[in-house]
Structures are given as structure tokens and as C-alpha cells.
Amino acid sequence: MMTEENKEERPGTEQAAEETNQPEEQKAEDELQEITEVEVIEPDDEEDLDKPEEFEMKLAEALREKEEYLDGWQRTQADFANYKKRVERDRQQMQQNATANVVRRYLEILDDLERALANQPQDGEGAVWADGIDLVYRKWLNTLEVDDVKPMEVDDQIFDPTLHEGISQEESDEHESGEIIEVVQTGYYIGDRVLRPARVRIAQ
């Protein structure tokens, strides 16, 4: 049961609590005031308007950098395109070299077939046999053509040391000086390169 003394002390206790809470409430109000007070920065429009030359300089600099970046990108694209072409050219060259190394081994067999056909019989069983040899020879040429290997056509041409190998020079009333008289061994191209030069006799 509350005594009179306790009743007298209660108001003082409540007042002390209120005084204790007052600083915290004031602190909260002060913090709220700081948060709500936002500094407004006005743009210096007059300064920007007073310096059009500076704006034009910055614009010109930006345009110059854009041109530099575009030029660099275009150069990179061109370099990459050239790289792809070079890689493809090297690949084709390697493939052509590999084919050439294999084909060279069989050219002497073609030479033998050509010599056999040059003296083929025209009648009897020999003629039938020669027709079979000619068929094999033509099939072989067709197979080589698939790999871009073709025989040279040098009849009645002028001797060219980059294409022909001269084995003799002879007098000829039917040919001009330096003209090829006869092909002793057929030459071959692989692509646009000389696989084997033609061996020829030349008119003096």
C-alpha cells in the first residue's frame, strides 16, 4: 500500500525521467534538421555561356578522338583481313607442296606411257592393247588435273629458261632461232608454278 511519502516522491521521479529523455529528443530533432537541410548547388550557367570557345575546343577534341578510334579500328580490320588471306595462302601453298612431292614420283611412269603411245601399232591386237594404254594415260592425266596438275603446251614456242630445260641446239630450216623443235620430256604445272620443266631441243 502506497504511503504519503511515496506519493510525494513520485512527481519528482517523473520529472527526472522527463529531464533525462529531453536531451535525446532534442538530439533526434537536430539530426532530422541536418538531414532535411540539403545544400542546393546552382549551376554556373553564366560561366558556361560566357565560354563558347572552350566548348568548341572540347567538341573538336572529341571529334578528333573519334576519328582516331575509327581509323584505328579500320586499320585493325584491314590487318585482320590481310592475316586471314596470308594464312589461307600459306595453307594452299603447303597443300600444293605436299601434292607436288607425291606427283613427282609418278611423272616418270607417265613418261613411259607417253613413249609407249608414241610408237603404238595401228593394226591388230597391238592396236587394241595401245588403246587400253591410252585410256589409262588419259585417266591418269584427269586425276592429276583434279589436283591442279597440268602438262605444258610448248610446241612451236620460244625457249624460256624459266619453263624449259634445253638439252640441245640444232639447225632447222623450219624453225626460227630459239624456237622449240621437239619436246623430249613433258613439263608440268601445279597451279601457276612449274612442277617440272619441259626438256626440249632448240633451233639455233
**Dihedral sign computed on CA atoms, order 20, 24, 29, 34:** positive
pLDDT tens digits, 167-195: 999 988 888 889 999 999 999 999 889 99
Integer Cα distance of 188 and 144 in angstroms: 10
Contact 124, 157 (CB under 8 A): no
Integer Cα distance of 9 and 160 in angstroms: 133
pLDDT tens digits, 2-54: 444 444 444 444 444 444 445 555 655 665 455 444 444 454 545 554 577 88
Q: What strands, in cross-sheet order, belong to the sheet with 198-203?
A: 164-170, 198-203, 180-185
Integer Cα distance of 87 and 22 in angstroms: 84
Q: What percent of the chain has pLDDT over 90?
A: 32
- The contacts of residue 136 (CB under 8 Å, 6+ apart) are 113
Best CA proximity match to 132, nearest among 108, 149, 151, 113: 113
The number of CA neighbours under 13 Å toward the Cβ of 34 is 6
- The contacts of residue 2 (CB under 8 Å, 6+ apart) are none
Contact 152, 187 (CB under 8 A): yes
Using the structure block, give the residue that is written with the C-alpha cell 619441259.
198
Q: Other C-beta atoms within 10 Å of 99: how many?
A: 17
Integer Cα distance of 136 and 143 in angstroms: 11
Domains of the chain plus CATH, in order, are 148-204 (2.30.22.10)
Stated pTM of the model: 0.57
